[in-house]
Structure 1
Amino acid sequence: MGSLYDDRDGKTYKTVKIGEQEWMAENLNYDVQNYKSSYRSWCYDNKDGKDGEVDNCQKYGRLYRWSVAIDSLTLAQEQGATCGYNTAGVGNCFVPNNWKGICPDGWHLPTTNEWNDLADSVGGSSFAGKNLKSSEGWDLIGGVNGSDEFCFSGLPAGYRNGSGKFATDYTYFWTADKSKNLSYRAYAMGIPYQKDVFVTGDRDVGVNAYSIRCVKN
């Protein structure tokens, strides 16, 4: 185990070395400001600790649109790629290797291959869900706890769907990869609440909001 200090907002995250990779062992909770407030990120169930309520961002990290996860504004300025909100289906959208996105300096948004390497390091996709899940919390909302054998501490963070509603049948993590088949979709990794598997699927980039884990360069 190690730690990562994000000098943008002063937060410190736990990190963990698994195989040849070093991962954040907590979900990103950076409230990026250079996007319209309605397109930035969400706390699960819109509970952000105000008025004495639970702070789900502090507990689970934030849920981000893909365009924010890849920092599409910087991507357009520095690379000329058009991957912003509701623009991924037109123009020239691509994400370079080791693209930082909204991760802290020295870290980047992982690709599908990097997530698959992680899954292989913890027993393969059939068991990775169990081995990456935290050992508590999932059962409180209808899921199955994991073993957290590798200290990845995957939490039941849920997600925000295309209807603007929050759901707890999966926890999803964005990758840096666009779909190979549909220009308006990007790949995400999912952990089902009630199963031990780890799955890959392409999801709509314009509507869904998922968690982010960064991997070290």
Structure 2
Amino acid sequence: MRLTQNFYELMTKTSQLLLLAIMATLMVACGGDDDSDGDDVVPSCDDFSASAVRTAADEIQLTITEGSAPYAYTVTYQGGATQDGETSQSPVTIALTETAEAQSITVTDETDCSTTAELAACALTATAVASDGEITLTVAEGTAPYTYVITYAGGSTQKGQFTDESTTITADQSEDATLVLTDADFCTTETTVSADDLTSLLDTRDGQRYQIVTIGTQTWLAENFNYDYTGSLCYDDDAANCEEYGKLYTWAMATADDFAPEGWHVPSKEERDIFIIEIGDDAVSKLREGGSSKFEAKFAGVENNGKYILMGTDAYFWTSTISDDPTRAWLFRLDEEGTIIEANSTLTSAYLSLRLIKN
């Protein structure tokens, strides 16, 4: 009888221990713990992550791995600006609200797990140079193809695409303009050009700019040419005179293949004659500085046989046409006290001023 009772007690204790073990196993499997306060176990944030890529110049795509929705996010821009939002989806497209480059996005889930995704840095840089109605865009870094949008001061826009490192665009307007360039990685950069630059000629060889003017069907420099061609002179050998009046050249210099910038040339006798007809009567008054033609002629004088003469009274300009005498070439002359354009010739060895005409 006593043996039976002991066996019964042993079996009872064993059953109790087995029941406790089963309950403990169930608590672990269900995420509970054996603390007396009944708090839940905090889930791990180790697997919570996010990635972000640009999908357009003004949007990014956010992809979230693991975590519990909804997700709060903060986009951080270059310069410190931020943009907050919330989503329950992944992936999700986020429209960017700032013009600065987006650098990172920090995501926080419902359980306060947090992760930050860095956006690849943009390397796109470009320059824009305007000259004679054209804009040359040159990319220093970036991924082709490139798309540009030009917005003019008057509100009109001009768009295009190119794949080389540089492209030249014929401007639709002669106005101040802002250019936004976007590359294949949806990186953007912005630059500007001025109306003054669009309506002047840049000689890329030395960086000098010249105002230009259209008279009839011809487009001329509205300043005396001042390129430092080998052998050219400043009146009285004074550099200040070159700055004010331009340089003086022989006919051989003026007609050399490498003399004029691309797209321009020394006018021929025939082009000079068209110019004279277009100007008409009272030519000197129209062509001098402040005259109605905007040609802005300056009486720069000449150098002949080693002597500088006629500054302040005469303006002589070469043409590219040799006369019947091979030692002489055609020119046109303005006398400060005269009224007409004189069409005559002089020795090719003389040093005269130059006005280029557009091809």
The answer for the alignment partner of 1:188 in structure 2 is: 331
The answer for the alignment partner of 1:29 in structure 2 is: 226
Runs of 4+ in 1 over 6 A off after TM superposition: none
Q: Which amino acid aligns with 2:244?
A: K
Residue from 199, 213, 216 that aligns with 2:355? 213
User: Aligned ranges for residues 87-102 of structure 1 at < 5 Å?
Assistant: 102=259
Q: Which amino acid aligns with 2:357?
A: V
The answer for the alignment partner of 2:340 in structure 1 is: 197
2:207 corresponds to 1:10: yes
The answer for the alignment partner of 1:116 in structure 2 is: 273
CA distance in structure 1 between the partners assigned to 2:207 and 2:261 by the alignment: 11
Q: What TM-score do the two structures reach when normalised by structure 2?
A: 0.43
2:238 corresponds to 1:47: yes
The answer for the alignment partner of 1:84 in structure 2 is: none
The answer for the alignment partner of 2:284 in structure 1 is: 129
Determine which structure has more spread, i.e. the larger CA radius of gyration: 2
More strand by share: 2
Q: Is the partner of 1:166 in helix, strand or coil?
A: strand
Q: What TM-score do the two structures reach when normalised by structure 1?
A: 0.70
Deviation at 1:156, TM superposition (A): 1.4
Mapped contact 1:45–1:166 kept (Cα < 8 A): no
The answer for the alignment partner of 1:97 in structure 2 is: none
Deviation at 1:165, TM superposition (A): 2.7
Question: How many equivalent residue pairs?
Answer: 161
Mapped contact 1:161–1:167 kept (Cα < 8 A): no
Q: Is the partner of 1:42 in helix, strand or coil?
A: coil
Summarize deviations over 1:127-168 as a string: whole Å, max 9, x none.
222211113xxxxxxxxxxxx111000011111122433323
More helix by share: 1
The answer for the alignment partner of 1:177 in structure 2 is: 321
Give identity over the alignment, percent. 34
Q: Which amino acid aligns with 2:262?
A: D
CA distance in structure 2 between the partners assigned to 1:110 and 1:165 by the alignment: 24
Mapped contact 2:302–2:310 kept (Cα < 8 A): yes
Residue from 16, 19, 25 that aligns with 2:216? 19
What is the root-mean-square deviation in Å for CA atoms of aligned residues?
1.5
Deviation at 1:185, TM superposition (A): 0.5
CA distance in structure 2 between the partners assigned to 1:60 and 1:190 by the alignment: 15
Summarize deviations over 1:40-77 as a string: whole Å, max 9, x none.
111112111xxxxxx11111100101111111xx4xxx
Summarize deviations over 1:156-192 as a string: whole Å, max 9, x none.
1111122433323421000000012x11100111001
Q: Is the partner of 1:200 in helix, strand or coil?
A: strand
CA distance in structure 2 between the partners assigned to 1:165 and 1:57 by the alignment: 13
2:300 corresponds to 1:152: no
Higher relative contact order, chain-length normalized (CA < 8 Å, sep 6+): 1
